[in-house]
Amino acid sequence: MKLQAAITSSSFLVTLIMFQLPAAWYQMLQLAHAAQQSQQIQPGFYNITCPTAESIVTSAIRSAHDSDPTVTASLIRLQFHDCFVSGCDASILLTGSNSEQDQLPNLSVRGFDVIAAAKSTLELTCPRTVSCADIIALAARDAVAILGGPSYIVPTGRFDGASPGIVNLPSPNSTVPESMQFFTAVGLTTQDMVNLLGAHTVGSAQCQFFTDRLYNFLGTGQPDPSLNTTYLETLQATCPNKQATAAVNDTMMAVALDDGSQFNFDTSYFTNIQNNKGLLRIDAEIGSDPSTSAIVNTLAANANPSSLFDKSFVSSIVAMGEIGVLASGTVRTVCSDIATA
């Protein structure tokens, strides 16, 4: 603790140690990080131990977006798929036996390589310091901002989990009550659920996740009657009935979750729901269920630059980032390998 106090109180001493004894410096940083293990996550957790941590992650996300603009939305989704399974512990990044990546709800999750690239740079700059769990949270924040959404502060100081979890996530075909069971189980509210589903304002979904709505809704042999007729025809043209065609690969085709605004973080997702153009069943459900429809209408009606949705989304994604946080533990040096912790 005295060592940490010395590092905190004298920037001159820090500079001197960095210049003369780099190996000792890294050891000191690791000790300072260890001294914080019993603390809760907080903004600026790495200000002393790795001052450039957040900017390094931002640079990696911007580079990935420049190479593939579709991956940015996937990074927001990645945080959801991590935090809702055994907490925000980066267990989704682990490969090998029983990997979460190999379980059905995660087969279409992307962005693992982006997190790995950020981690590689961080290990060169601040070895064994920045957790993979924090990189996921920071990456989601940067992805939101790059897509035109709000900038917000991410509390950091998470540690990495020691094993993969059992993936049990709400289905895109869930009703509101079915989905709410997952959110209340982790301490989130109905408002949080609608706010976080608002992330569907960016990104896309494969045909396989909604073709039943186009051809055989709830086993009726007919399309979902709630779908906008013109929108239905557009979707059917992109996603043929997989039972009537041999082109199985058509189920892998992707459609924008937010029609007309796939790369813009805005409120058009909620407006589309009001116009019966919610792509997934859960999107449509929150527009019609009495417990959520008023929230959808309120968020859709406040579309100014500092919209209510921006503020609401930040509140909910920060709360989601606190699910099951490990306040003590290890930092993996390779995010996909538990042996590097």
Distance CA 317, CA 321 (A): 6
Here the tokens at position 230 are: 């013109």
DSSP β-bridge partners for residue 160 = 330
Please report how the helices 190-197 and 281-288 are oriented relative to each other, as an axis angle in degrees rounded to 10: 130
Tell me how long the chain is: 341
Burial class, 127, CB count within 10 angstroms (exposed 0-12 / middle 13-18 / buried 19+):
middle
Catalytic residue among 33, 65, 81, 200: 81
Residue 156 has what DSSP assignment?
A: B
Q: Is 112 helix (H, G, I), strand (E, B) or coil?
A: helix
Residue 190: both structure tokens together:
């109905």
Q: How many Å apart are CA 109 and CA 61, to the nearest integer? A: 16
Q: Which of 254, 152, 238 is nearest to 203 (CA)?
A: 254
Residue 113 has φ and ψ, to the nearest 5°, of: -70, -30
SS3 330: strand
81 has catalytic annotation: yes
For residue 190, with 0-12 CB atoms within 10 Å meaning exposed, 13-18 middle and 19 or more buried, which class applies?
middle
> For the stretch 64-75, what's the b/e string if a residue is b when 16 or more beta carbons lie within 10 angstroms of its beta carbon?
bbeeeeebbbbb
Closest Cα to residue 226, out of 280, 178, 179? 280
DSSP state of 41: P
Q: Which long-range contacts (CB under 8 A, 24 or more apart) does 268-274 make?
A: 268/201, 269/198, 269/200, 269/201, 270/198, 270/296, 270/297, 270/299, 270/300, 270/309, 271/300, 271/303, 273/300, 274/300
Catalytic sites, residue numbers: 81
